[in-house]
Structure 1
Amino acid sequence: MINLLKNSKQLYAAAILTGCCFLLACENDADKVKDWTKKVIMQEEATDIDSYLSQNGVMKARLKAPKMIRFYADTIYVEFPQTLHVDFYDDSTQIESRLDCRYGKYFESINKVYLRDSVVVITVKGDTLRSPDLWWDQNSKMFYTDKYAIYHGIGKQIYGGKGLTATQDLSSVIFNQPEGTVQMSQNGLPK
């Protein structure tokens, strides 16, 4: 019995001594640990993009951009870091409006596009919407922003200091806190 206790004490002592050796022998270089544990975001890059968007077999838009980068992060998104041009089509595949900007970011999971830096939307009727940044919701076919925007139409020039909501074809433009001039007809309605 005494011999068994003596052996178990020696066994515990050997285990503690071996554990201490392992702890003292480990060396973790902080840079190497960061390399092994850093989050890697996969990405794909393409140039000279010419893409078509269709819903239920009907073409809705054509997108052109010199460069596109798709990021596979927590939220998958696509960046257009240089410029972006989109032609929007009506149900008879005729162009109803055009969009140009210097930067775009498409969030695939929510079907929304963030546009910034000299955003311009022009309809075939000549109506023009300008804003420093704008969101486009593909599902509702709406533009919206909380930034300053300018709308020029036939006989209309409206400024909005606190944002707007507009349909994709600019047939309906609703400003938050609008300013500007609108020509009125004889019956008191805007022309």
Structure 2
Amino acid sequence: MIQRFLRINKKWAILLPALLLFSCENKIEEVQDLGKKRTGVEEGVQIESYMSEGGVMKARLTAPEMLRTQNDTPRTIFPKSLQVIFYNDSLKMESHLFAKYGHYLQNDNKVFLRDSVVVFNVKGDTLFCDELWWDQNKQIFYSDKPVNVHKKSGENLRGAALTAKQDFSKYSFTNATGNLLVGDSLLPSNNDSTPPPPAQTPAPSPVQ
């Protein structure tokens, strides 16, 4: 069972009385307009959110700002970037995600990420893309937009779409292109001057 915990900077509790006092000093029309604009919207700063499974922390999300709406489709918006660190069962980092924008769809349990999306794992593989979905139920990433993966070995892979495990340990492309490194053992050596063995001619059949 996946559980989530949210922590919001406590300074909001300190600022709340001051904000209420400030509102009382404004015109009643301005206060009413402000209430209409923010109806059903919760705000927070310096967000820390944790996702656990079976009592073990699996991910930690941080963001400078959060907006949460409670309309027909509840949505949590991170308008000024977010970062997510994924952990294994030993609480060691498996992968790290960054995006300049993201929003969480509560009913679908999915996170949409866009604008300079980067995901890298402990092996040194790094994914770059403009848009990415994170399906928390299936624990996968996927995108139907062009993606680019730089591998630590020097390979550069591109694809028209991608599906990857949440820890980014495995991934697959659609219409993949790019350069692949070939091991030296598969290439002919320039110093190898040994001529190939002569072709063997089958022995003649004995005359009866």
Q: Tell me which interval the TM-score lies in, with the shorter structure as reference length.
A: 0.7 to 0.9
**Cα offset, 1:41, TM superposition:** 5.7
Mapping for residues 1-191 of structure 1, pairs under 5 Å? 42-155=40-153, 156-160=155-159, 162-185=160-183, 186=185
Distance, in Å, in 1 between the alignment partners of 2:137 and 2:89 is: 15
Map Cα deviations across residues 60-100 of structure 1 (whole Å, 9 max, x no partner).
10000000011111111100000101100111111100000
- One-letter amino acid of the counterpart of residue 69, structure 1: L
Distance, in Å, in 2 between the alignment partners of 1:182 and 1:170 is: 19
User: Which residue of structure 1 lines up, in the alignment, with residue 199 of structure 2?
Assistant: none
Distance, in Å, in 2 between the alignment partners of 1:108 and 1:184 is: 45
5+ residue gaps, structure 1, are 1-37
Query: TM-score normalised to the size of structure 2?
Result: 0.68
Cα 1:169–1:184 change in 2 (3 A) is: farther
- One-letter amino acid of the counterpart of residue 57, structure 2: M
Query: TM-score normalised to the size of structure 1?
Result: 0.74
Map Cα deviations across residues 149-182 of structure 1 (whole Å, 9 max, x no partner).
001113321011x211011222211111111012
Distance, in Å, in 2 between the alignment partners of 1:178 and 1:46 is: 41
Distance, in Å, in 2 between the alignment partners of 1:57 and 1:102 is: 30
Residues 51, 58 of structure 2: 8 Å contact kept = yes
Distance, in Å, in 1 between the alignment partners of 2:186 and 2:142 is: 31
Query: After the TM superposition, which of the residue ranges 74-83 and 151-160 deviates more from structure 2?
Result: 151-160
Distance, in Å, in 2 between the alignment partners of 1:187 and 1:95 is: 35
Distance, in Å, in 1 between the alignment partners of 2:138 and 2:186 is: 33
Residues 118, 131 of structure 1: 8 Å contact kept = yes
Distance, in Å, in 2 between the alignment partners of 1:152 and 1:41 is: 44
User: Which residue of structure 2 lines up, in the alignment, with residue 35 of structure 1?
Assistant: none
Distance, in Å, in 1 between the alignment partners of 2:71 and 2:47 is: 22
**Cα offset, 1:108, TM superposition:** 1.0
Larger Rg: 1
5+ residue gaps, structure 2, are 1-35, 188-208
RMSD: 2.0
Q: How many residue pairs align between the two structures?
A: 150
- One-letter amino acid of the counterpart of residue 157, structure 2: I
**Cα offset, 1:46, TM superposition:** 0.5
Distance, in Å, in 1 between the alignment partners of 2:65 and 2:56 is: 26
